[in-house]
Chain A
Amino acid sequence: MTKAGVLRQPDDNEGPGVVGRTLGRPFWIAIGWLGLLTVLALFASWLPIEDPNKVGAGGPRLGPSFSHFFGTDALGRDVFARTIFGARISLLVGFLAIAFGIVVGGGLGIIAGYFRGITDQVISFCFFTLLSFPALVLALLITATIDRNQWTVSFTLGILAVASVGRLSRANTIVFAEREFVQAARVLGANSRRIITHELLPNVMIPMGALALLGMGIAIVAEGSLAFLGLSVEGDAVSWGKSIVDGSQARDLDKNPNVALFPIGVMFLTVLALNYAGDRVREYFDVRETAF
C-alpha cells in the first residue's frame, strides 16, 4: 500500500453524489433493450417464429443454428421462441407486480404518513409484519395455496412489494406534509382529499419512477425463483423462469446447455438494464432513500 490513499481529500467534482444532469447514453441503451424486448413480447404471436410449445419444431437437442437461433430442447421445442414468448409472461408479471405494489403500497403509505396516529400505527404494523417474512417464503405461502396463472402470480409478487413501497411513500409523505406549500393549501381551506391527491401525490410519485424500474427487476427474478420451487404459472404458459428450470437438470444442462443459458443471458441483461436505468433515474432526481 502506498501512502497516497488515506489522506487525500476528495475533489469537489468527483465521488458519489455528484451527478451529471443528463441520463447518459448507457441509460438510453438500457431503455432501448427494454423497449425492443417489450415490442418482441407484444407481437410474439405475429412474428415468424415457432410455436413455443410445438414439440419437434426441430430435432431434439440441437445447438444454435440459423433456423433455430438458440437451438432446441430435449423435446425439440424452439428455445428462441420460448425465450420470446417467455418475455411476455415475465415482463407482464414484473410490470403488474410492481404496479400493484406502487398503487396499493404507495396509497397506504400516503394515508399512513398523512393522517398519522392510530391509522399510521395499524398500517405500519401491517407493513412490518409483511416484511417479517423472508420474501420468497411469503410468496411460497400464497402461491402454494392458489391456482397459479399470470394474474395470481403477479398479485402475489405485488403483495411482496407493497410493504417496501409503502414504507418509502410513508416516509416521503411525512417529509412533504410539513412543507410550506402543503400548509398553505390547508390554510386556504383544502380538505384532506385534495391535499393528498393534488399536493402530496405528485411529489411522492417522483421517486416511485426509479422504484418501479428496480422493483420490476426484482419481480422478474422472483418469478424465476418461484419457477425453481415449481410455483410459477401453471400449464402451457412459458416464462423465463420456467424455461430456465427446464434446462437446469444436471443431465439436460450437460447435454444441451443452450436451453438454460440463453434465457439466463436474456434475463440477466434485462435485470441489468432495469437496475441501471432505475439507478440513473434515482440519481437524476437525487432521491437518497431506497426501499429495497
Chain B
Amino acid sequence: MRTLILSRLSQLVLVLLAVTFLSFSAMNVLGDPLFNIIGPLAELDCDAVARGEIESTSSSLDATRTDCEIVAEVKAEFRLDEPLLKRYVLWLGDSVRGDFGTSFASEGVPVSEILKAKFPASIKLMVYAEVIALGLAIPLGVYGAYRANRRPDRILSVVSFGALAIPNFALGVVLLYVFALKTGVFPSSYDKSSVWSEVKSLFLPAFTLGSGLAAGYQRLLRTDLVTTLQEDFVHMARAKGMTDRHIMFRHALRPSLFSVITVFGVQTGALIGGSLVVEQIYLIPGVGRELVTAVVRDDFPVVLAGVTVIATAFVVINFAVDLLYGWLDPRVRAQ
C-alpha cells in the first residue's frame, strides 16, 4: 500500500507541474498579457523608439511619463520582461503560497480574494448535484438489476439513455422555463438569505447536473449488479433463506460499487464543466461566472488562477479515488 501511495504521489506532482505549465504557457503564448493590461499601447515598438527611428508620442495616459516608460513599468511590475520559463517558476512559487497576483481589471485586488468569495457557491452546487445523482442512481440501479431485462428495467434503460443525450444546458433551460418561470415552484435565481431558500434555489441547477450523472451511474451499477447476482455467494445467501432486499442491499451492492467509484472521479470533470455552464443559466455567483466575466474582460490572472485551482482539484480528487479504490479492492493493492 505504501509503494502504491508513493508512486501515485510522484505521478501526482508530475502531472500537476505539467497541468500548471500548460495553463501558464497557453495564457502567455496564445494570449497577449501586455495588451490585456495596457491596451493598444502594447503595440508600440519601444525598441524602435529607443533607436530614435520613430517619435514616441507623449503620453496620453499620464503626462509625467512617456509611453515607453509606462510599458517598461508595467512589464517590470507583471514580470513580462522575463523569459517564459523563469516567469512560470516565479508564478508557481507564489501560487503554492496562495498568491495568484492581482487582477488586471479590478486594480490591486488580489486574485485569491476574488476566487475565495466565489468558491462556496460552486462547491455547494456540485456536492448537491452528487447527492441527487447517487440518491437517484443507487435505488434505480438496484431496481433495474433486480428486474433485469423485464419491463421496468427496459424503461429505466431507455430513460437513462435519453438522459445521457440531453446536454446540461438544454435541461437547465427547459427546467428553468417549466419549474421557475411558468409554474414558479422554484425560484429562478440563487438566493442565500436562509438555508432553506438556498436549498430550494439550488435544487433546479443541482438536479440539472445530477440527472446526467445519475443516468451514467445507474447504467454502470445495474450492469455490475447483474454480474454480481450470478456469483455463488448470492446463491448461498438465497439458499440460507435471506430476503431479496437483504441480499440486494447488504450482500450484492457493495462489491458492485467499484465501477461507480472509479467513474466518480472521472465524472467530476464533467460535473465541473457542467457547473460552469449551469451557473450562467441560474445566475449563481460561483467560480464559473467569475471565470466568464474574467474572460470577457481579458483579466488573465483571474482566468489562469481559476483554471489552475480547478484542474488541481480535479487531479487531486482522482488521486484520492485511486487510493480509495486500492483500499476497497485488495487486488489493486497487490499490483
Contact = CB atoms under 8 A, between A and B. Distances in A.
Interface of A: 1-3, 5-7, 9-10, 14-16, 125, 128-129, 132-137, 140-142, 144-146, 217, 221, 224-225, 228-231, 244, 247-248, 250, 253-254, 257, 260-261, 264, 267-268, 271-272, 275-276
Contacts of A244: 169-170, 173
Give the most central of A145, A250, A272: most B CB within 10 Å: A145
Given A264-B174, A272-B162, A10 B148 contact: yes
A275 B169 contact: no
Interface string B168-185: 111001101100110000
Give the most central of B164, B173, B310: most A CB within 10 Å: B173
A209 B169 CA distance: 27
A7 B252 CA distance: 13
Contacts of A231: 295
A136 B272 contact: yes
B234 interface: yes
Contact of A253 (B18, B169, B176): B176
A147 B206 CA distance: 33
Main secondary structure of the interface of B (DSSP, over half): helix
Given A129-B18, A225-B169, A229-B276, 10 more contacts: A15-B148, A15-B226, A129-B15, A134-B314, A137-B314, A141-B307, A229-B292, A248-B281, A267-B170, A271-B166
21 contacts: A1-B245, A2-B244, A15-B148, A129-B18, A132-B18, A133-B314, A135-B273, A137-B314, A141-B26, A141-B303, A141-B307, A145-B31, A224-B169, A229-B280, A231-B295, A244-B169, A250-B180, A257-B177, A261-B174, A264-B173, A267-B167
Contacts of B162: 272
Contact of A6 (B26, B161, B180, B248): B248
B140 interface: no
Contacts, number: 163
A219 to B, nearest CB: 12
Given A135-B270, A221-B167, A264-B173, A128 B311 contact: no
B223 interface: yes
B310 A134 contact: yes
B308 to A, nearest CB: 10
B288 to A, nearest CB: 8
Interface residues of B, number: 65
B254 interface: no
A252 to B, nearest CB: 10
B66 interface: no
Contact of B311 (A137, A221, A247, A264): A137
A10 B147 CA distance: 11
A3 B248 CA distance: 12
Contacts of A15: 148-149, 226
B181 A254 contact: yes
B181 A134 contact: no
Main secondary structure of the interface of A (DSSP, over half): helix
B15 A253 contact: no
B161 A253 contact: no
B244 A6 contact: yes
Interface in B1-59: 14-15, 18-19, 22-23, 26-27, 30-31
Contacts of B214: none
B124 interface: no
B167 A271 contact: yes
B280 A228 contact: yes
Contacts of B161: 275-276
A212 B325 CA distance: 31
B33 to A, nearest CB: 10
A77 B280 CA distance: 24
Interface string B199-243: 000000000000000000000000100100110001100100001
A7 B247 CA distance: 11
A9 B235 CA distance: 11
A217 B162 CA distance: 13
A224 B167 CA distance: 8
Contacts of A257: 177
A108 to B, nearest CB: 16
Interface string B261-302: 000000011101110110011000000100110011000000
B146 interface: yes
